[in-house]
């Protein structure tokens, strides 16, 4: 059976009447003409907007065109539809026939010049969760000839219709053709970039050549691309040994003070973190902080107000365990250890020292380990932790065996209050033991942990 063609327009951007199709109607002289191919394979396409109606003409070679007229709810919806259609045709390889005297709005500006409107940016910052502010800004950017506006419209259409291959190609074409304009200073230094309506939503930045990381961050946040960034990862800081640590980079973040930034990821498995107190002091509005590296400590024991702390590939030692346990975390809701090969023997020390008085809001603990020995230590420590009575979620992505299930069953009474206990699926557990676990602890489920990973970058 023939598959249904994906819908081009979203509910808010859909014609209010059935499109009218006709033949033999000539396009007006002001209709820009786009072409693909040559000779007998030539295809052409033209478009005009009049008020709330968008009309297109298309055909092959010298054959008379066919015409489709679409009427929208208002002129603004028609204007947005016009731009989406043009972007789609360009992504399909259609090029404007400049030899014909058909006027077209100015092509997007080049050379990295980006347009800005402080008043529209303020409107977005009043409520960054509202898509409407982004779409109003996108419409203004398009009228100013900035490709960010067209990208925003295409990405919004994709969010409403993610199955559309045409919209995906249109987005990829814009990102490839205007990478320097859209990313600005981030272009040579960013990876794992995600977008939200023309602006960078999340990215991991790193130094390159002899450019220090603080200079990269300062330039990126001053550019429109990073104006509304929500999730930022900081990689290697420098090449030279005379600029150690993340101090200058954190100061650059503090100077910019991006109001939309709620998640900060610092370090990688090969870096020495040292004192990370400034991460929390300089950026007190952060909700999630993810740390990765070795020799971590908190020299300043003042209260920390994040709601989620992720220790990913952190080489825990006694000093790190003591500094974490000795700090007040009044709003911390989720504590996560992820993908660490090097919990070491101090993970049980950390769990033993963590007290409900220091983490009164904690409700979720997540532990992910690959090393069998450290996985067993983490499992035993989590079940013996003084924090266990206040938890509602316990995620144990660990190398489980039959002995571990026996331990969990032995502790069934102490974990019965936990609403959700997730265990790593795929472990070689006898069926009879799995059935007993399901009977005695119905709140324990087997999971592949591929979704809902705390602290994971947005996709």
pLDDT digits (tens, 9 = 90+) for 104-127: 444 444 444 567 888 999 999 999
pTM above 0.75, yes or no: no
What pLDDT is recorded for position 7? Answer: 47
How far from chain centre, in Å, is Cα 119? Answer: 26
**Cβ count within 10 A of residue 336:** 21
pLDDT confidence band for 13 (50 / 70 / 90): low
The count of residues in the chain is 459
Residue 329: pLDDT above 80? Answer: yes
pLDDT bucket at 316, cuts 50 / 70 / 90: confident
Percentage of residues in the chain having pLDDT higher than 90 = 21
Task: Report the C-alpha gap between 338 and 329 in whole angstroms.
Answer: 19
Rounded CA separation 23/8 (Å): 22
In the prediction, which pLDDT does 241 show? 40
Predicted confidence at residue 109, as pLDDT, reads 46
Give the helix/strand (H/E) hosting 275: strand 272-275
Asked if 256 and 218 count as a contact pair (C-beta separation under 8 A), the reply is yes
Q: How confident is the model at residue 160 (pLDDT cuts 50, 70, 90)?
A: confident
What confidence tier does 6 reach under pLDDT thresholds 50, 70, 90? very low
- CATH architecture of structural domain 11-96: Single Sheet (2.20)
Sequence ranges of the domains in the chain: 11-96
Q: How far apart are the first and last CA of the chain?
A: 33
pLDDT in tens, 56-90: 989 888 888 889 888 887 766 777 788 788 888 88
Give the per-residue pLDDT at 11: 46
Q: What is the mean pLDDT of the chain?
A: 81
pLDDT of residue 101: 43
Q: What is the pLDDT of residue 195?
A: 95
Percent of the chain scored above 70 by pLDDT? 83
Mean pLDDT of 197-206: 92
Most confident of 17-26, 175-184, 226-235: 226-235
pLDDT of residue 215: 86
- Better-scored residue on pLDDT, 146 or 7: 146
Instruction: Note the Cα 418 to chain centre separation in Å.
Output: 30
Q: What is the pLDDT of residue 263?
A: 95
pLDDT higher than 50, residue 154:
yes
């Amino acid at each position: 059976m023939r598959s249904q063609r994906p819908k081009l327009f979203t509910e808010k951007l859909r014609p209010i009447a059935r499109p009218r199709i006709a033949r033999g109607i000539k396009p007006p002289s002001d209709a820009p003409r786009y072409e693909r191919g040559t000779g007998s394979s030539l295809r052409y396409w033209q478009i005009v907007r009049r008020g709330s109606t968008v009309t297109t003409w298309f055909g092959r070679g010298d054959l008379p065109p066919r015409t489709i007229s679409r009427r929208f709810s208002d002129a603004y919806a028609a204007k947005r539809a016009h731009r989406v259609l043009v972007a789609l045709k360009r992504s399909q390889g259609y090029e404007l026939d400049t030899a014909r005297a058909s006027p077209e709005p100015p092509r997007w500006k080049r050379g990295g010049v980006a347009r800005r409107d402080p008043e529209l940016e303020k409107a977005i910052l009043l409520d960054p969760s509202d898509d409407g502010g982004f779409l109003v800004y996108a419409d203004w950017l398009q009228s100013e000839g900035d490709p960010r506006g067209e990208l925003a419209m295409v990405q919004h259409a994709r969010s409403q219709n993610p199955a559309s291959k045409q919209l995906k190609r249109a987005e990829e074409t814009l990102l490839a053709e205007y990478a320097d304009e859209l990313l600005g200073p981030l272009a040579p230094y960013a990876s794992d970039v995600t977008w939200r309506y023309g602006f960078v939503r999340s990215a991991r930045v790193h130094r390159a050549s002899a450019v220090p990381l603080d200079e990269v961050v300062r330039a990126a946040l001053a550019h429109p691309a990073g104006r509304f960034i929500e999730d930022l990862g900081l990689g290697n800081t420098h090449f030279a040994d005379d600029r150690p640590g993340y101090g200058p980079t954190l100061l650059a973040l503090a100077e910019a003070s991006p109001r939309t930034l709620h998640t900060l990821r610092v370090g990688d498995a090969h870096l020495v973190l040292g004192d990370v107190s400034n991460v929390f002091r300089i950026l007190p509005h952060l909700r999630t902080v993810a740390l990765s590296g070795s020799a971590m400590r908190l020299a300043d024991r003042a209260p920390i107000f994040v709601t989620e702390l992720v220790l990913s590939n952190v080489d825990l030692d006694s000093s790190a365990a003591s500094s974490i346990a000795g700090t007040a975390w009044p709003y911390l809701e989720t504590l996560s250890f992820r993908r660490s090969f090097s919990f070491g023997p101090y993970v049980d020390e950390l769990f033993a020292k963590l007290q409900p008085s220091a983490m009164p809001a904690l409700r979720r603990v997540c532990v992910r380990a690959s090393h069998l020995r450290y996985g067993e230590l983490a499992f035993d420590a989590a079940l013996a932790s003084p924090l266990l009575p206040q938890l509602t979620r316990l995620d144990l992505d660990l190398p489980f065996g039959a002995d571990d299930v026996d331990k969990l069953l032995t502790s069934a009474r102490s974990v019965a209050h936990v609403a959700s206990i997730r265990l790593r699926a795929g472990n070689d557990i006898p069926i009879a033991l799995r059935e007993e676990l399901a009977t005695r602890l119905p709140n324990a489920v087997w999971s592949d942990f591929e979704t809902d990973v705390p602290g994971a970058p947005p996709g």
